[in-house]
Structure 1
Amino acid sequence: MPKFSRIFRKFLISYIIILLIPSIAGYMSYRTAIAVTQSVSIENNVTQLRKSQDILERRMAEVEGFTRQLALNQELSVLMNEKGMDEKVNLYGIWKVNNDIKAFSQTNDFLQQFYIYLNNYNVLLTPASSYFQPERYYQSFRYKDLPADEWKRTLLEQTHNREVIPLKPFITNGVQTSVITYIQSLPLDSFSGSARATVVVLIDEKVISSLLSDLKDQYGGWSHISDAQGHTLSLLGMNEADAAKLASDNSFDQMKASQFYNDDLVITIRSKTTGWVYRAGIPRHVLMENANKIKYITWSVTSSALVVGLLVGLWQAYRNSTPMHRLLNVMKEQFGKDAAVGRNEYDFLQGNISNMISNNKRLENELNRQLPLIRDAFLKRLIAGEFRSLEEIAAAAEQANTGLEANTGYTSILQIKGYSGMDNVEILNELSAARFIMKQTVQDLGWLVHMTDLGADRVVVIFEGIASAEDTPNQEIERILNELAEYLFAEYKITIIAAMSNPFTTVMEISHTYEQAKQALEYALHMNRKGVIWFSDARLESDTYYYPLDIELRFISTIRAGDLEEARRILDAIIAQNIENRELSIEMKHQLVGELKGTFLKLLYQKTFQESEIYEVVKNRVTDIQANEEMDAIRQDIDEIMASLCGLIATKKNDHHNKTVEQVMTYIGEMYSDPDLNLYRVAEKVERPEKYISNLFKEVTGMNLSDHLEQVRMDQAANLLKGDTYTVDEIAARVGYNSSHSFRRAFKRVLGVSPSSYRQSTTE
């Protein structure tokens, strides 16, 4: 066509070059902005870590200053220099020192737990009491792996000078925590031999970790503090194994201030005074959040500009090349010269489109090839009970494209007999072929089934969409499976056992029915049965009850989350497994009830319940449960206990939400006149994410936070308009609007009249 001539192409290329020049400049600006944003983010986090370091070192200096104050304490000096047990005990002096040191523990959280050991009296002084037998103190406050005699010998009877013992497990009144220990002998010039007194300060790891909690709360990262020898002083957001792995990894530069490691930005600061190493890790995606916003905006604007510019270039090239092309045609006709034949401009485009189609086909084939693996992984998670809710199952089923929709059906395990204990290559190949034949035959039966391999000789089959109200489905499934077994044996000499579960009424029960099928299969193998074995026909006498650890942990976590319905479902499954499916002895029933009572006692000893007003009542109800009662009565008692605990959790959640919303509304009421007040500022004030605050405010009040802010401003504006002190423009500025035009529009939208009309109506 004439409009796509060589002249047209030259015009178009010139326009494209002109279009690319600002695009390249924009790209360079974009790269610079990304680099600056990343640099600022790193600098801000380094500053925050240094701030935490300064605070911690200042607090440790306060601990050191505390020991120096004790060294100057006259009453303590008198006690240290007395002969001690050879004369009468200076009880008044001990009492006086006790009163002097109480104030330290009340004003400094680093000094909440410390003691002073007087060597001459063999007495240990704490802010709360005095122990003339230090071993009695050690019974309640002790290191987990340190015997009392070694504690006394290494900590109390040796000389220490500003010594810090790294993080160690510590037990306080039966509750385990971790502490670092600061030790100073008195007098301060005790360098050898036995000290007259020893000051020991126990600093809880949680107190130190709280100084670095902003990094974890704000960025979801981790922090680690170690001494000059590499011993851990504090951990937050990671475990000891990860810290050791980081320290031993040769690819990680221990001296570098900031570097990326395993997709985390790791910031390292070394203290010049103590030699301690402060290290914090921030996820890359959090660090680059602002940079990604710039990237998205830049690419969107650039793409739009390129598209618009290209369209304009096409139109300009066509408009400018058409007259010249017509002129050339006229000249060729006049002179009888043929135009030079050039390369077709669509060849390059055609080649690239062909490559794109080929690549797309190849990608589609690869995804189709991997889809069975995704389905198989989904089914394995389903029968293992790894899903926590129906919504999670529905999302995973849609991703795996399984078509799992019905809520009723059966779970079955088909085992190929005759291959037990055989695991050489030939047998495995033969089993693989036999499984394929069996699965293909089941698929050809026309039933809606889902299958996954279970070992070399077993296949789990989920029959979906089969009603369970009558015996007809059981008989139909049994007939088809018997025909399947006969067909496989007749055609391929494959013998199978089919273990069937009871029907499930929701997909959440598939893992439970899978366990039933396993028990039925175990019974069939034990009794050397063939054909179809139903779980209802395979009740095994059991000398033990069913209450595995993972079920107990799920039970506890469900109650702690306040999900009463799911807790009831788990309890019903436990009781059904033990009462309906097992023949428990009286002794085993008593032990099962004891285990259930123990589960609730574990729950009650957690801080959330222990500090509540229902603690004693629920505890007494748990202990009053008698194992010799009927199981229905025990079930009713446990259900009422669960309802009380879940109700407490729900109440605490509501109270916390209401307090947060009240704090937000108070802050808006104080700061409504600030034109920069927005959701980000409010979220920053209450120290919560913006999305969380927005959804919570909407849920509690029924209105958006922005609407509430606007309503507060309009109410204040309406009050000011009732007087003549300020003009409308001044009132707009006083209620947080930079533009009086925006204020007038908002006022009319909320109150239905303009500010001037409202003032006039109130005056009249």
Structure 2
Amino acid sequence: MKKFNSVFRRFLVSYIVILIIPSIAGFLSYHTSISVTEKLSIENSVMQLQKSKELLERRMAEVEGFTRQLAINPDINVLMNEKSSGEQTNVYGIWRILRSVLTFGQTNDFLQQFYIYLGNYNVILTPGSAYVRPEHFYESFRYEDQSLAEWRQTILGQTHRSEIMPLRQYNNRGTITSVVTYMQSLPLDSFSGSSPAIVVVTIDEKTITNLLTGITDKYGGWTQISDAGGRTIASLGTGVPDMQALAKDASFDADKTSQFYKDDLVITIHSNTNGWVYRSGIPRHALLEYANQIKFITWTITGIAIAVGLFVGLMLAYRNSMPIHKLVSVVKEQFGKDDTTERNEYDFLHGNIAEMIRSSNQLESELRRQLPLIRDAFLKRLLSGELQTREEIFAAASQANTGIYGHSGFVCILQVQGYTGMDSVEVLNELHAARLLLKQALLDIAGFTLTTDWGSDRIVIVFASKEAETGNTIGRDEIASLLDQLSKHAFAEYRITFIAALGEAFASETEVSVSYEQAKQTMDQALHADRKGIVWFEETRLESATYYYPLEMELRLIGTIRAGETEETSRIVRTVMSLNTEQRELSVEMWQQLAGELKGTLLKLLDQKSFMESGMFEQLKDRIIALHATDKRSFQAEIEEITGVMCSIVVSRKNDGHTRIIEAIKTYISGHFSDSDLTLYRVAEAVERPEKYISQLFKEVTGSNLSDYLEQVRMENAIALLRENRYTVDEISSRVGYNSSHSFRRAFKRVTGVSPSSYRQTVEG
């Protein structure tokens, strides 16, 4: 242990110092936590109670606003002013009112239970029901302490102006509960005697107390609301004191916001709107719970830390030194260096780690050197047709950090002349040098090096551009001019001659291999005919006993149909037909076999579920079987038409699924646009799709971003509210989902070109 004594002592001293500092801080924090916790609890409780008060007043204001809306309802006004004629009742008018009030309870749970009494018809209307006799309504909905006659006299027979009846027991279809009653006579200017109509809203006590659960859920205790006369509106929790006795107690100040009363901290808030009093009681033990926890945790942790400090210090010193010794041992073993007497372990590690960094840099440099080989391998795979789909080509190009610099062009093969039949080492070296010189000359003339070696005497060049150049003489002339310059330069400088063979133009990355095969065939024909210079594919015509329909081309055709790419599918079909009709002389038997192969490809595709469930399975199957290969042009047209129908089926199935998702997104936004917390994540969660997927899908289908659509919906609703002229701009901004009126005004002006206030003035004018 001698080698650890110094390390252990230094660690132990620092560890004890570290322990003492937080212990002292914890001791001080315990004494301050009581006052801080008490202050924060009071502030939080007052804030929570204030929020509950504001929310309750807002709900009650909505109830009052509901009665005002009924007051201006033309259907109710017609019924109130009609004179009852015996047993006849305006059934249609009553039905219109029932329909118009049906949805009010969906936006405010205070409006779940209400009824409208029409005096001239002696009828009571509720959401969804009409009682032609008040006594029928009384049988199901009544106050426990009030008879039918008393109910008729005090509720239906008097004029009420925003009158609130305190908490009373209420029988709701046999269920006993407690309710607060809001009453308003119609029209609003009714003053005395009976009024034509009365709106009565019964608010369940549980609905009110749901707004007061914030404090009781956190601390326990109780919360109580009373009106200006001291009558209880709602109460929640246990241990609610007698409010009348509380008001008479001289030790309790009714106007003080917070004070300790017995074992509770009592918070009191007065409403300036309706005179209601909101009180909440927090038990003292709950208030000081966090402070006591701090005390217990502080002393417990301090005691344990000091008790085990020495042991932990020893273990940590040993633990921290062991990795260094193990690392030194491993380095010695790997590098074979045992002599470290002249320097310590840190110097030893420093020297060997520096050596490893140098080795890593050398490896990175070697990988960069190998990158041209990787790019060359990508180009060879592309030319040989190993990469079938565009996605596969793009992935391989990204991996090789390269591409073909365009979507269309020509494939060219250069063969160095003068070395046929020679395969000695000297000849191979000369050919290698010739290939390098030609590629460098091409780089100097054309400015690109999209080339690869193919054998000892051949170079393959891919000429590609952004736009399709099929049939474009300018592109062909440019290539011919470039090859001519290359030929003259190579001969003048190095006495190198070559033959250039080019395939037909490819219009897509997937057709590069086809153009290469054509270039190979052209080169074979040129060598056979002893042609010189530049030879194009269309200048040779193949006489072949077999058709050309390789497996990779069939797989490419199947893949494009499955993806619903109509244009790409037609291009492949035209390529197959061109290669076997225009560039080859096929016998009747070979042509029939090719037609059978194409029909077999389409029949194999029909076995997939997407086509079998489309409703066109039998029709397509019959069309494919009935195909006749007598007329090549009509056969090609029919094949293209069938593949087009199959692609349209695939696209239709995709679009149906996409349309359902888009409609679900729009429906969810229309119901939740007023929520300021509405985000892309919540929309994605509602439709059960990833965020990135629905964002891209919405853009592709609708042409606009999801955020722009949400803003458009909010602006349309804001315009409707501005036309109604019932709310302020600040209220409208909240109703359409904006956190601040400033953000709303800025968005409104960006969309409409004018501010909300200016728009409202324009509408009013």
- When normalised by structure 2's length, the TM-score is 0.42
- When normalised by structure 1's length, the TM-score is 0.43
Q: Which protein has the larger Cα radius of gyration, Structure 1 or Structure 2?
A: 2
